[in-house]
């Protein structure tokens, strides 16, 4: 733990001398301009043996929020503002028990608590049992700044929220399937009745996440001011009206000129021991260090496994102490410290230095929306191209250089056409802000960086790039590599087993005529929720995507898929389990959880056209779509001059739209098989892929 020099104990013990000196001079007391910040996402964590991909998601969430707070402090924001920024981000993240993702109470609803406090003035505000404000921490600050009170609760807090202009949401907004599962398990354990699910609630599944949690942040800004913010959804299955420690100033949250503390764990115990204020008191009156005070409260006053605290003192020293198996946490300061942790180990996140790495070959300008977004988001002044084409590496490098330079004209470009050593490659990734899979020989790329599905130093470095807020993108075969599985090729006819039909014009070779079944293998597993297919509409790939998802689900994989159209892209926020459609074209979301095989046919796929601005949230095998705010005009899915492809794109898109809106069944004939669709509500359609039997084929 980084320690700062300075005589804080001496200053506290020599007040009279300090006052006398101040009377004798007009020179202001110097303030260390260095800032520090720490956050937590709760002391109830995933199991220690959870898959690394799950732990990576939580680490990415922590790093994203921490980066926002650090950037705010580095830009001169106050400690109070930085704490609010961090907690708002964590409230919006369904991984944590605050805001969206909050725990259910015993009657199946959500009651949220939050508190914020400025240590330099002792001004504070808190809310308890709120049900309708999207970000309770913002409401707590409104209580502090717009009322003469400290704590508002229940209906009064909700009524006040309606007057503030803050965003209000239905109570169901806060629920997620894994929180619902926690409630059901908790109530069954205590033989209590399980409340009915709300209409259209997603299916629940087992989860490794713990049943309690809170989010919080403490900070010291460049003027030496301290602040704290804490927010929670409470305890799973709690009684209606229960309030925990988070909104209780002095129990779960406290800040003064000496320290700032945010707590997480068994709220009743933190209230009984006034943990946050007690830490400050032990420092003020007992002259203990921050480390001594926090450890005494966590390990001596509280019971084992009660929870933990994050705390910061006037010198910027950070302590993150817990008695639970783990605690989601992170810390950063102006000296370059930036780390996130769940268990005992620390994940150090290096700062990006401005390079964009392009890997692959076969780049084209068909997906300009991706290149434009990539260059804008990476802010790359330098681009490194690492070719991995099936043909000439030099030709691929030239093609990629020319295409990228049209979209990042001010960047310097370096080309690497040889296989580099692991250390060299990892060093490149560690110094990058973005990674771009351009396509080309995808099997070769995966074999190089994630051989046989085994994590390598390179793939871990790619995850670290995501963890520190970097961008990873792909087009064509490049975006197919992003998931745990990827397509190697093959037409819909081959995937469905329709022998004797000519393959679609998707660049596949003659083996598509004889190879039956979806052709896919292991991918990079950088995006774990969906199987992605590109050039979706113009190459008529709905059959192979649904067939592959059905097979993947039978093998224990994800049932969700994305068909990316031309002039379209889907932008993922890995840490938020969220994606947003961008660009003028259309894409397709497929949910294959209910798909069943009927002879050669596949029935029961749920599909939805997604357009620019539509948001997709991935929660435990389900996909929840929030449509864009306004109508979107769709640019033709096909952008080239091939009339058959243009007609095929338009026919497919028209069919899917009619199916989602029709009261009856609609059909689309596609060679030797056909699509039958019917509305499933809320913009979804149910699609059957009907393949005639051998007897029907011979008639």
Which residues are annotated as catalytic?
214
Quote the CA–CA distance of 350 and 353 in Å, as a whole number. Answer: 9
CB 205 within 8 A of CB 621: yes
Burial of residue 452 (CB within 10 Å: 0-12, 13-18, 19+) is exposed
Burial of residue 378 (CB within 10 Å: 0-12, 13-18, 19+) is buried
> Residue 577 is encoded by which pair of tokens?
């389990």
Quote the CA–CA distance of 161 and 155 in Å, as a whole number. Answer: 10
Residue bearing tokens 């043909």: 391
- Cα torsion 531, 174, 83, 279 to 10°: value is -120
> Residue 478 is encoded by which pair of tokens?
């490049």
DSSP, collapsed to helix, strand or coil, labels residue 45 as: coil
CB 226 within 8 A of CB 257: yes
> Residue 665 is encoded by which pair of tokens?
């069944």
- Cα torsion 190, 192, 196, 201 to 10°: value is -10
Quote the CA–CA distance of 65 and 90 in Å, as a whole number. Answer: 7
Residue 382: in which H helix or E strand, if any?
Answer: strand 382-387
Query: Which pairs with CB-CB distance under 8 Å and at least 24 residues apart come from 489-492?
Result: 489/519, 490/515, 490/518, 490/519, 490/544, 491/541, 491/543, 491/544, 492/540, 492/541, 492/542, 492/543, 492/544, 492/547, 492/670, 492/673
């Amino acid at each position: 733990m980084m320690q700062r020099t300075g005589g804080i104990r001496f200053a506290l013990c020599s007040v009279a001398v300090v006052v006398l000196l101040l009377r004798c001079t007009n020179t202001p007391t110097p303030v260390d301009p260095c800032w520090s910040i720490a956050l937590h996402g709760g002391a109830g964590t995933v199991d220690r043996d959870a898959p690394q991909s799950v732990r990576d998601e939580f680490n990415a969430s922590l790093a994203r929020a921490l980066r926002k707070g650090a950037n705010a402090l580095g830009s001169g924001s106050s400690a109070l503002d930085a704490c609010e920024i961090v907690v708002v981000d964590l409230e919006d993240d369904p991984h944590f028990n605050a805001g969206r993702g909050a725990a259910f109470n015993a009657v199946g609803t959500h009651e949220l608590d939050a508190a914020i406090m400025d240590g330099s003035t002792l001004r504070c505000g808190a809310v308890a049992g709120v049900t309708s404000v999207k970000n309770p921490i913002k409401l707590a600050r409104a209580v502090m700044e717009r009322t003469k009170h400290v704590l508002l609760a229940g209906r009064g807090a909700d009524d006040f929220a309606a007057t503030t202009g803050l965003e209000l949401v239905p109570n169901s907004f806060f629920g997620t399937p894994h929180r619902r599962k926690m409630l059901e398990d908790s109530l069954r354990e205590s033989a209590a009745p399980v409340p009915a699910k709300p209409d259209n609630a997603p299916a629940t599944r087992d989860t490794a996440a713990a049943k309690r949690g809170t989010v919080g942040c403490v900070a010291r800004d460049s003027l030496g001011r301290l602040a704290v913010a804490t927010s929670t959804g409470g305890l799973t299955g709690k009684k209606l009206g229960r309030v925990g420690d988070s909104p209780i100033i002095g129990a779960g949250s406290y800040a003064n000129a000496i320290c700032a503390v945010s707590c997480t764990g068994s709220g009743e115990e933190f209230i009984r021991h006034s943990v946050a204020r007690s830490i400050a008191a032990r420092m003020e009156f007992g002259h203990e260090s921050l480390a001594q005070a926090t450890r005494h409260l966590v390990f001596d006053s509280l019971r084992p496994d009660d929870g933990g605290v994050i705390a910061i003192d006037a010198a910027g020293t950070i302590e993150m102490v817990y008695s639970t198996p783990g605690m989601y946490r992170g810390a950063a300061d102006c000296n370059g410290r930036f780390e996130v942790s769940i268990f005992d180990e620390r994940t150090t996140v290096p700062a990006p230095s401005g390079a964009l790495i392009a890997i692959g070959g076969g780049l084209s300008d068909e997906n300009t929306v991706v290149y434009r977004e990539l260059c804008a988001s990476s802010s790359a002044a330098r681009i490194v191209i690492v070719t991995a084409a099936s043909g000439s590496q030099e030709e691929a490098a030239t093609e990629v250089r020319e295409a990228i330079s049209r979209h990042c004209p001010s960047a310097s470009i370096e080309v690497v056409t040889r296989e580099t050593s692991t250390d060299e490659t990892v060093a490149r990734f560690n110094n990058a802000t973005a990674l771009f899979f351009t396509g080309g020989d995808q099997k070769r790329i995966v074999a190089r960086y994630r051989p046989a599905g085994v994590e390598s130093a390179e793939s871990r470095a790619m995850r670290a790039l995501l963890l520190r807020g970097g961008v990873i993108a792909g087009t064509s075969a490049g975006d197919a590599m992003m998931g745990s599985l990827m397509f190697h090729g093959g037409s819909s006819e081959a995937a469905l087993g329709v022998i004797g039909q000519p393959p679609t014009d998707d660049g596949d070779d003659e083996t598509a005529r004889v190879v039956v079944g979806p052709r896919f293998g292991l991918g990079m597993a950088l995006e774990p929720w969906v199987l992605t297919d590109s050039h979706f509409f113009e190459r008529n790939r709905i059959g192979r995507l649904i067939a592959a998802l059905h097979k993947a689900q039978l093998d224990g994989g994800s049932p969700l898929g994305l068909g990316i159209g031309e002039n379209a892209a889907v932008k993922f926020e890995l840490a938020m389990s969220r994606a947003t459609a961008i660009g003028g074209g259309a894409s397709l979301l497929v949910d294959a959880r209910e798909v069943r095989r009927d002879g050669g046919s596949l029935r029961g796929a749920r599909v939805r056209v997604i357009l620019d601005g539509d948001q997709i949230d991935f929660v435990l095998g389900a996909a929840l779509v929030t449509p864009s705010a306004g109508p979107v005009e769709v640019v033709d899915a096909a952008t080239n001059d091939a009339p058959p492809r243009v007609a095929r794109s338009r026919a497919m898109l028209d069919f899917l739209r009619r199916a989602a809106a029709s009261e009856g069944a609609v059909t689309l004939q596609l060679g030797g098989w056909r699509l039958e669709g019917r509305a499933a509500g809320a913009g979804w359609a149910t699609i059957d892929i009907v393949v005639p039997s051998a007897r029907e084929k011979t008639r």
